[in-house]
Structure 1
Amino acid sequence: MLKKAAVALGIVLILQSFFALCLVSALQLLVLRNTPFGVTGASPVVNAVASKVSLDTRSYADESAVMEAIGQSKLYGAYLPGQASDTLIVVPAKSFFGRVELEAAFEDAAKKLDRPLTVKAVKPLPKYDRLGGVSGLLLIPLLIGGYLAAVLLLKATRTAAAPWHVAMLVGYSTVGALLTDLIAGPGIGAYSNSHFWPLLPCFILIAASVSLAAAAFQRLLGPAGTLAVAILFIIVGGSAAGGVGVTLLPDYWQHLGAVFPPQHAIALVRNVIYFNGNNITTPLIVLGLYALAGGIVIGYLGRWRPVKRVGAAAPADAPDTPDTPDAVDVPAARAAGPKPAVRVLVALAIAAVMQCLFTVNYMSSAHEPVATDMPFGTVGRSPLLAATQRNLSLKVTQYPSEQAAKDAIDRAEIYGALIPGQTSNTLLVVPTQSDVAPLDLAANFEIAAKKLGQPLSVQQYAPHPLAKKDPFGLVVSLMLVPLLVGGYMASTMLRTVTGSATGRRRLTALLGFSVLAGLAVNLVVGPWLQGYPLEKFWIVWPILSLIVAVVALVAAVLQKLLGAAGTLVTVIVVMLFGNPSSGGANGVPYLPTFWTDIGPFLPPRNAYILLRNTIYFDGHGTTQALVVLLVYLAVPAIALALLDRFRTPEIPVTRETEAEATALTVPVGGLP
């Protein structure tokens, strides 16, 4: 038993570390790489930028040809040299962060070369998708919904391949796509209602490609098929989806992502919403091939090579036969349980509910990140501040001096500060607090300064600058996801192999796993990927271990009380409500009110604040977060000890219920 437990936890440790490696390596350094960029003539400005930024320059005859290429979603931007001045065209809908990098690089080069430059935005992003994240957010429920449909249908029918499975999964994909479309579009307003019908067949195709391919993997590989799909489609494919823009991914992730559905799903949805459905042939072909191949495998193996049926009741712990890796049909068990049709409907209903929850929660929390009451400091009074507050919601605190304002920044209390001067004004922005706030503050204050005719200097200020390989401050939020997922995966796997949610060694095993998991993720993100300043290595390790332990122990208690349903409850609390309310790299001020209010009571928000402030703010502002996490650690630990001591009745652990529960733990952290 100890050997089985060690092997199970070892598998989780490897998956968790691999998950962290994929997410962080793909998204930590958002730098343009071989970016398609149009030019209408030679320019020293383009040459200067191309020497520092990786551009795939393409020549066009004139502006009309450039605009046509942009409309077909072929370019991230273009440069049009002129006699008196030049024009830089940026395409925010193609990539928000790509637009930021292109503007900064070309404006800097034009200024150094004393060349007048006008910036023109084509295909601008609407307010309800101001960061261009809607296509990535839509992928989450479609990907997970399709995956869960295949997993739960397998559990309900005890087979992954039957002629009617194709119809069932396509039917579910249609219903799930319709629900996602209704919630995200008319319900939440993440895109205009005019896109409702064009997006519906796209959503159906995405969900069907995942669900059919997942079922085919399950039939071909048996129990390992579920894990294979989660690794390939969610962990690897999700990391390489390119929601921030494909050319901002490392080259190997760009090519690897092109093999799996998520990257093509992102391209399909984005091009339908913002580029009138242009350049979607490749995504349609790839997604269609996944769906077609999955359907053929399921249909062929289900009709001409069906799994063998066992005619008599088998013991609950009897192993699957070699010829039936994914199904053992026990008539006696079927007679005692619900009818097959009822089981199928219940399974697909659970998948649909989860898909709807992912759509509602992630879309409502992140599709329109607009700051509300952003903590901000000022030294004295300035008309610039009043003018800026007309467009940006700030919660202003007065400080007696510039040093006092900087001290407040050092304590992680404010996101920026205005220092008025006699000849110029200085705006301090804090990149370690938020990836978006510095951009918003700079843009709004510069507009106000231009209207009022006042000079303004924007300066970055932070106690510890962001790591060179984390220029947007994304790493902390990225490595948080594998920590959360690894926590409840460990508890679930341990329960599966031991047959119990308690036991004298269970608490020790989970705490020991947490220490090793924290170290493993720390080694991957720190020394290997250099995702944060390495002098913080030893203080980061116990924090990562604490986060894993909190989730693992919470899951263990819920599993003891609720059985396999405890895993599902943990997923809902931690990933469906906790993760969206964490604030992440954007920062808490960018969350809607509901998510702002519930975040302090859930582990992910406190875990993120504790980790970020320890790394970048010398541990200031972490007391509440640490106390909350310690409470979440202590209470379940005591509960586990008491439950074990008093030997409360144990909900039976069966292979079927735990297989389902384990499957649920894998995909929900794979957020593109």
Structure 2
Amino acid sequence: MHNSTPDAGVRGTLTPGAVVLVVGVLCVQLGFLLSYIGAFHHPDPQRIPVAVVAPEQAADKLDALPGRPIETTVVKNEKAARDRIMERDAEGAYLMDPRGKQDTVLVASGGGGSQADAVRKTGEKAAAQEGRQAKVEDIASSGDEDFNSLTAFYLIVGWLVGGYLMASLLGITDGTRPSRPGHAVLRLAGVAVYSVLSGLGGAIIVDPALHALPGHFAALWWLGALLVFGTAAFTMALQAFFGVVGIGLAVVVFVVLGNPSAGGAFQRYMIPPFWRAIGDWIPTGAGTTAVRNIVYFSGNALATPLVVLAAWAVAGVVLLLLGSIRRREPGLALPI
């Protein structure tokens, strides 16, 4: 008769591999909390770039405001100020009227509601300190169905989730590492088809279905396809080198680090320096910026975010192919 004890069952469950995975999950969870709370617990404007049409001394006073909320660039006229905003070289503008007491503050809420609100408040405060009035004009406002320009961020997050979930599913059902380069190519081809369909679905939802980001259907479709493909390819590459742990690493990159730094609820000049420094170089932030620039800024300043997204896709493809030919080493898999 076979005898078993509770202790034996516990020992069978608590293998070294299981303990490592539990500790890893705990670290990811705490990292998630640290990253989100660290980025968002005290949003504060920090040197938001603002174009100024005013005498040099007036710009110096704006630069010297307590806490340095804005950083000014003096331009020659209102047209130059508007151009800087639309070309994404500035987030707002302060136009001083030399013949009167009413100045104008230009904002662009399409680039993010919290940043635009900070520019507005700073401009109004600066005008009041000089005994002047300020009227506010939103020259690139977020749409009626896009509150605070948040749709871009949620669209990107949805696409990203689809990308790394698709890659994770392939890894779980078909092995985390392709057995040969041809196998890797087949996976990439399947992911490419999925990415095109995912990009199409997202574009349908935000344009004809909900009218949240209308009028840019084709551009959003192919941007989404590139984003999903790059996310999936890079996640598959991580799995090829690190096994199931690669899924966790993808979550760290795209979610734990990517979401707080992407400029969703609080844009880059409202969050601490660490998140501001990494945001533009992670697909979450690059994608969010690209969507906003397509929809609200006439497609200006798209080169950098598109190059970033393409670089992640190329890196994912190359690393996955390298992972498929890498010699298997004993002990790489976690015993669970």
Shorter-normalised TM range: 0.7 to 0.9
CA contact (8 A) 1:500 1:653 kept: no
The answer for unaligned runs of 5 or more in structure 1 is 1-310, 312-328, 658-672
Match of 1:564 in 2: 244
The alpha-carbon deviation at position 481 of structure 1 amounts to 1.3
1:173-252 pair list within 5 angstroms = none
Amino acid at match of 1:535: G
Match of 2:117 among 426, 439, 442: 439
CA contact (8 A) 2:40 2:266 kept: no
- TM superposition score normalised by structure 2: 0.86
Match of 2:128 among 421, 436, 450: 450
Match of 1:517 among 190, 198, 203: 198
CA contact (8 A) 1:446 1:456 kept: yes
Match of 2:152 among 476, 498, 515: 476
Match of 1:275 in 2: none
CA contact (8 A) 2:63 2:72 kept: no
Amino acid at match of 2:169: M
Alpha-carbon separation, structure 1, partners of 2:107 and 2:221: 29
Q: Alpha-carbon deviations, 1:487-506, whole Å to 9, x = none? A: 11001111222235321410
In structure 2, the CA distance between the partners of 1:413 and 1:445, relative to structure 1 (3 Å rule), is same
Alpha-carbon separation, structure 1, partners of 2:311 and 2:152: 22
Match of 2:29 among 355, 359, 365: 355
SS at 1:459 equivalent: strand
The alpha-carbon deviation at position 638 of structure 1 amounts to 2.5
CA contact (8 A) 1:563 1:651 kept: no
Match of 1:550 among 230, 239, 264: 230
In structure 2, the CA distance between the partners of 1:633 and 1:398, relative to structure 1 (3 Å rule), is same
The alpha-carbon deviation at position 342 of structure 1 amounts to 6.0
CA contact (8 A) 2:50 2:70 kept: yes
Alpha-carbon separation, structure 1, partners of 2:11 and 2:86: 61
Q: Alpha-carbon deviations, 1:558-601, whole Å to 9, x = none? A: 11111101111111111111222222242211120111122233
Say whether 1:390 aligns with 2:65: yes
Say whether 1:607 aligns with 2:283: no
CA contact (8 A) 1:388 1:445 kept: no
Q: Alpha-carbon deviations, 1:361-413, whole Å to 9, x = none? A: 11001111111110100012264872584245211111111101111111021
Say whether 1:628 aligns with 2:303: no
Match of 1:649 in 2: 328
Match of 1:78 in 2: none
Amino acid at match of 1:524: I
In structure 2, the CA distance between the partners of 1:650 and 1:535, relative to structure 1 (3 Å rule), is farther
Match of 2:262 among 565, 582, 598: 582
- TM superposition score normalised by structure 1: 0.45
The alpha-carbon deviation at position 339 of structure 1 amounts to 4.5
SS at 1:397 equivalent: strand
Alpha-carbon separation, structure 2, partners of 1:520 and 1:466: 22
Q: Alpha-carbon deviations, 1:435-483, whole Å to 9, x = none? A: 1123222223323323322132111112xx4221113111001112111
Cα root mean square deviation, aligned: 2.9
CA contact (8 A) 1:426 1:456 kept: yes
The alpha-carbon deviation at position 346 of structure 1 amounts to 5.2
Amino acid at match of 1:397: T
CA contact (8 A) 2:176 2:243 kept: no
CA contact (8 A) 1:563 1:652 kept: no
Alpha-carbon separation, structure 1, partners of 2:85 and 2:321: 43
Match of 1:269 in 2: none
Say whether 1:379 aligns with 2:53: yes
SS at 1:396 equivalent: strand
CA contact (8 A) 2:159 2:224 kept: yes
CA contact (8 A) 2:234 2:320 kept: no
Alpha-carbon separation, structure 2, partners of 1:427 and 1:634: 42
CA contact (8 A) 2:197 2:225 kept: yes
SS at 1:505 equivalent: helix
Equivalent residues, number: 321
Say whether 1:593 aligns with 2:273: yes
Q: Percent same amino acid among aligned pairs?
A: 26
CA contact (8 A) 1:429 1:460 kept: yes
The answer for unaligned runs of 5 or more in structure 2 is none
Match of 1:416 in 2: 92
Q: Alpha-carbon deviations, 1:637-666, whole Å to 9, x = none? A: 13333444x374399999x97xxxxxxxxx
In structure 2, the CA distance between the partners of 1:629 and 1:341, relative to structure 1 (3 Å rule), is closer
In structure 2, the CA distance between the partners of 1:632 and 1:488, relative to structure 1 (3 Å rule), is same
Amino acid at match of 2:27: V
Match of 2:211 in 1: 530
Larger-Rg structure: 1
Alpha-carbon separation, structure 2, partners of 1:471 and 1:526: 15
Q: Alpha-carbon deviations, 1:620-649, whole Å to 9, x = none? A: 1121111121111112213333444x3743
